[in-house]
Chains A and B, each alone.
Chain A
């Protein structure tokens, strides 16, 4: 009765192999590395960059222990930190000849030293949280009210233009809190205005107010428009943040949305918070200017004498371009930029949307300058970059602008991204910040590791002393539990924090409960005179219901923590829940498989090595081997 069918053994064996495989990468440690990623949305890291890096290192005679290209960029693994620093400087010099205008981010990083075949199985070491590896964590609150106010201000300008274009006389337009109020002197005008606004601004909700000669039309944004606005604001802020963080040279930055209006930024390895904050808080501006196409002026500018009132820029293709200093439009007037396709030619294109005031200016400018070129310049850190410089083919009214021609889909995407990156959609505020030094991180790992190790050793020693062979089986099951837990955490790439390590230790301390329950039950059966085989069978069977109940109650607590926890509590809860699940399997299935292997095949088992069984009323009988 104590035999498992073959498939159960196979499952246990497979689980152990899986556990070993995915735990393995954690044992190899990490080696110093240099990572090259793109510094700008317009720059792609591809095999050409890989070749350049290889050539640079070869020329300098720096040996590497692995160089490859992945989704994040080119990664070079190096023998020691000296070689790492040297390689970083060399690659930096080679790839970014102009330090003020970096095309690539060259960052120091640590890479797992596990062999390639493991990485190709997606077996990676656990992802360590900032408290274990050091770095900066920011929680930013996006000011949605600010975004809304900004939108409403733009809206009142739009309404003013709209009504003027349609010759509707109003007595003033003003933003009051979260709505824009238009005043009228008579009801007819109001009805006409209402019609016009409804036709042109589908995002608005209108309500008539006031009486006599002080009539009002209160306009508010529809809830779905507000929702769209908020989603757009947070997305745009995240895009802008990631563009800026690239400059910091962080190997694996994390930029994620948390809740409806918060953004988490984690920069592992960064210690200079002041600089990080400076960069996060900076704003870039977008300017539309006309291209100066006076014959001979470009040549003069290249010789060092740009004509008065113009700046020399380099276009994306590498050609020099002279742009007038006078700004036609600023990025504030741009409400959206999306990649798409031309309706007629089906070529990739970028669609821009301007607000009403911007549209009017744009219409005038394009009318006067058909056939000429305009340049869209992104200015950041006081340095400008020409995003695109299209030729004006005809007068463009209505605020919907399309830039197309000689663009790939990828380029259209990049251009739209850059145009949107112009500014943050809504102001942000840092509401939580954590800086953890690298030495503290290493300390925390050591402390967590020691706690688990010694706790485990103490439990193992006690279990073996008290339950002998059954104790040993319990300890092996517990070790399997640790193996599965670490493997799962590595596989899921869940962030491991110090509370997470504490949860691993606690999971082990609690998981032993199941084995104690089983072993006590078996002893009890023996005490009541069951045969050894029957005792094992009923012991496991009876204990299982209790184990299930007690684990489910613990799991309920774990899930509540997971649902409501944030930060350290979440890190704890993830491991806690996983630990309960793995312990159910290891304590019940793995230990039973081992016991079955040991005892199941013996026809006549006289005794079980489960320690001394004391029977009331009789002489203590030692059954232990």
Chain B
């Protein structure tokens, strides 16, 4: 089997502007959604109590709501979690509530109108924890960005590292934009997924850049755009297959992983799709516009191993 039968380099760079406009528009939309709707942060960040119940029969959410209301709870949310049997109750943080007994008091409130529930999970997060998590998350993001920029600048060239990080940070913003638009719950595991995606899709840029460097060194007489086209075309097969494989795994998580892994897998899916697009079609034009050229790679004249005389090597 061979999916990719490309005889000539695809002129990606001719459409560079289009790709960048598309991605700029998506990026701006994501930013707008982030600001207008905001992220639906999980209890881990906001503080509060989370209670997961399981009923033997399909749960009657209305009854759960009304019995909680009668017990004096306010601002709570009740929804199904994964299946119709499972219910997730979110209670906001309240100073006067006795958090120690909240699980039991909710259960006793429910026993009157919606009996038969078994307690699956209780999570309580105090206010100080949430703030710290948000700060640590931002710090981790910063550390990843700096680490990657420094490493790529060291291994390649500053132009590569700057374009790679711009392209991939824009992925992160787009993932967050999706979460804001659909009001999906943004939890700690989603944050982990976002950071993992950042590391992962930089891979993609690395693979292309590796090829760019190699082509610059081996082949003379090509314009920068042609070199980039060649690098992208010759790695596109690997790009699609690798991401396809990773996506198969993520899809399996989406299908079998249940509610807990649902948003994690979803964030990865978005990240993988936009990761391909941005690291190939956004990062490469950026490198071109930043003025990468052959001279930056070929300093010492030496014969590269395995290169043909006519230079038509990959």
Contact = CB atoms under 8 A, between A and B. Distances in A.
Interface of A: 139, 141, 273-274, 277, 429-437, 439-440, 443-444, 447-448, 450-452, 454-456, 458-459, 462-463, 465-466, 498-499, 502, 505-506, 508-510, 512-513, 516-517, 520, 523-524, 528, 538, 545-546, 549-561, 563-569, 572-573, 576, 611-614, 616-617, 620
A516 B199 contact: no
Q: Is the interface of A mostly helix, strand, loop or mixed?
A: helix
A552 B198 CA distance: 12
Top-7 shortest CB links A-B: A557-B199, A509-B249, A455-B252, A431-B126, A616-B7, A455-B249, A550-B203
Nearest to A433: B124
Contact of A509 (B147, B241, B248): B248
B79 interface: no
A506 B314 contact: no
A141 B248 CA distance: 42
A137 B277 CA distance: 42
Given A433-B99, A558-B199, A564-B136, 16 more contacts: A273-B103, A277-B100, A429-B126, A443-B258, A454-B252, A465-B1, A506-B246, A506-B268, A509-B245, A512-B245, A553-B206, A556-B148, A557-B144, A564-B143, A567-B44, A616-B6
Contacts of A556: 144, 147-148, 151, 199
Nearest to A508: B249
Given A430-B126, A576-B196, A459 B121 contact: no
A434 B52 CA distance: 11
A573 B192 contact: yes
Given A440-B120, A447-B256, A557-B196, A506 B250 contact: yes
Interface residues of B, number: 83
Nearest to A518: B238
Contacts of B52: 440
A451 B253 contact: yes
B125 A432 contact: yes
A560 B144 contact: yes
Contacts of A566: 132-133, 136
A417 to B, nearest CB: 28
B242 interface: yes
B113 interface: no
Given A433-B99, A517-B207, A498 B136 contact: no
A498 B262 CA distance: 12
A518 B46 CA distance: 46
Nearest to B140: A564
B11 interface: no
Contacts of B210: 545-546, 549
Contact of B246 (A436, A512, A538, A551): A512
B309 interface: no
Interface string B257-274: 110110011001000000
7 contacts: A274-B100, A430-B100, A439-B54, A447-B258, A506-B250, A557-B199, A613-B2
A565 B130 CA distance: 13
Given A513-B203, A546-B207, A505 B252 contact: yes
Contacts of B206: 546, 549-550, 553
A296 B272 CA distance: 85
Interface centre among A505, A508, A558 (most CB of B within 10 A): A505
Given A430-B100, A557-B198, A569-B192, A435 B256 contact: no
B202 interface: yes
B245 A612 contact: no
Contacts of A505: 249-250, 252-253
Contact of A561 (B103, B120, B122, B196): B196
Interface string B164-206: 0000000000000000000000011101100110111011001
B238 A517 contact: yes
B302 interface: no
B124 A437 contact: no
A432 B99 CA distance: 10
A617 B1 CA distance: 17
B202 A553 contact: yes
Nearest to A559: B147
B112 interface: no
A444 B253 contact: no
Nearest to A474: B245
Interface of B: 1-3, 5-8, 44, 52, 54, 99-101, 103-104, 118-126, 128-129, 132-133, 136-137, 139-141, 143-144, 147-148, 151-152, 155, 187-189, 191-192, 195-196, 198-200, 202-203, 206-207, 210, 234-235, 237-238, 241-242, 244-253, 255-258, 260-261, 264-265, 268, 306, 313-314
Interface centre among B54, B100, B101, B118 (most CB of A within 10 A): B100
A303 to B, nearest CB: 44
A450 B188 CA distance: 22
Contacts of B104: 274
Contact of B101 (A274, A452, A554): A274
A506 B249 contact: yes
Nearest to B204: A550
Given A517-B207, A557-B195, A614 B2 contact: yes
A95 to B, nearest CB: 32
A5 to B, nearest CB: 23
Contacts of A452: 249, 252
A558 B192 CA distance: 9
Contact of A572 (B8, B44, B192, B265): B192
A437 B122 CA distance: 9
A411 to B, nearest CB: 37
B54 to A, nearest CB: 8
Nearest to B49: A433
Nearest to B7: A616
Given A431-B128, A528-B314, A564 B261 contact: no
Nearest to B258: A447
B126 A447 contact: no
Interface centre among A439, A509, A566, A616 (most CB of B within 10 A): A509
Contacts of B128: 141, 431
Given A499-B264, A553-B199, A556-B147, A512 B192 contact: no
B268 to A, nearest CB: 7
A555 B202 CA distance: 11
A233 to B, nearest CB: 18
Given A274-B100, A556-B147, A458 B155 contact: no
A553 B241 contact: no
A466 B1 contact: yes
Contacts of A273: 100, 103, 122
Contacts of A555: 199
Contacts of B141: 560
Nearest to B164: A553
Contact of B245 (A448, A516, A546, A552): A516
Given A274-B100, A538-B306, A568-B188, A434 B258 contact: no
Interface centre among A499, A616, A620 (most CB of B within 10 A): A499
Contact of A564 (B126, B137, B249): B137
Interface centre among A273, A450, A455, A546 (most CB of B within 10 A): A455
Nearest to B118: A437
B163 to A, nearest CB: 14
Nearest to A431: B126
B103 A458 contact: no
A538 B305 CA distance: 10
Interface centre among B148, B187, B189, B306 (most CB of A within 10 A): B189
A576 B194 CA distance: 13
Nearest to A281: B100
A431 B123 CA distance: 11
